[in-house]
Chains A and B, each alone.
Chain A
Amino acid sequence: MIPIIVNGTPRSVDATPDTPLLWVLRDNLGLTGTKFGCGMAQCGACTVHLNGAPVRACMTPVSAAAGQKITTIEGAQGKAVKALQDAWVKLDVPQCGYCQSGQIMSAAALLAGNPQPTDADIDTALDGNLCRCATYQRIRAAVHQAARTMRG
């Protein structure tokens, strides 16, 4: 049994230590908001926060997260996440929607450290998050909008 803290709740999961955190979240804990897209840190669909920093859950063995704080899209809270989700809805960013949990988790990490990102900042922070539907233009606009909301 491996102890992890998921969305503020201590959990103990029965998984081999090499199991990627992604599958622990999705299969052991039923938190399916975090998505599988590639399994090799190429697409960002599985982005979660580990102690507040974005990581690719598909390449993070659960043993590396033992005892640490994990935040998934289901538990993501706070001003930045709320502002991002509102902007995502306002601008109708999602198409198929499959990549968007990861996009929002990466964008939240960006806004946490940079309240006024430029297009280039956004491109750098989100370049690891693929969107096959190519909603990129709206993602950029929505991150700017969320940043404006947060600055008030």
Chain B
Amino acid sequence: MSEKKTMVSLNNIYKHFGENNVLNGVNIDIRKGDVVVILGPSGSGKTTLLRCINFLERADQGTITIDNYTVSSKEKKQSKILALRRKTAMVFQQYNLFRNRTAVENVMEGLRVVKKVPKAEARKKAEAALDKVGLLDKADFYPAQLSGGQQQRIGIARALVMEPDLILFDEPTSALDPELVGEVLSCIRDVAKTGITMIVVTHEIAFAKEAATRVIFMEGGVVVEDGTPDQLINHPENERTQQFLARINGAAASA
């Protein structure tokens, strides 16, 4: 494992909103092919951290390195930020599919606009990506005509088709009806198997156990504990991790 190269490196990330210090020096190195699940209570800064990685939110301090390309939070050149973003893709909690584009057009959009792929070729690639998430038959449907689970799988196809170095998932299943969670998680599991580097923020402990290669527990804007799924979920050392897991398990048991 250790000979695998570092793909992502988050260095000393700080971020505040007004009085609220949301990220207080986050340092994470991620190797190529790692599937990192980030756990943590609400408000611990998980979403903010993901959004700082692709500069949807600009960190106050720190640097982001992806595939040996480093951008500082102080970077002024928009072109550098765009270049970093183009190494990543994001799957949103609310899917955020383009409402005015059909499923296949949603997947093609990034290829056409960012990678300047010709239309026919982009369509071919997009259809292949839709096939991977099992939705080729919905290619010509608009997002409004699809279920949440289907929309999210198209969101995943839209991310995959860009062949990014890193995919960011922000609670990809938490807006879904319970009966649709499974199809999306299994889709993400399939993606994880392809060896692409991923960071997944989720409250699905079972998913973390089974699909993650590494689990990080965040609280108060810092990394509290970091380890393999077995270490962190079955044998957490930190007291706060233990409390968090006990709460989640309690909630799951009472649900």
B and A form one assembly? no
Interface residues of chain A, those whose CB is within 8 Å of chain B, are: none
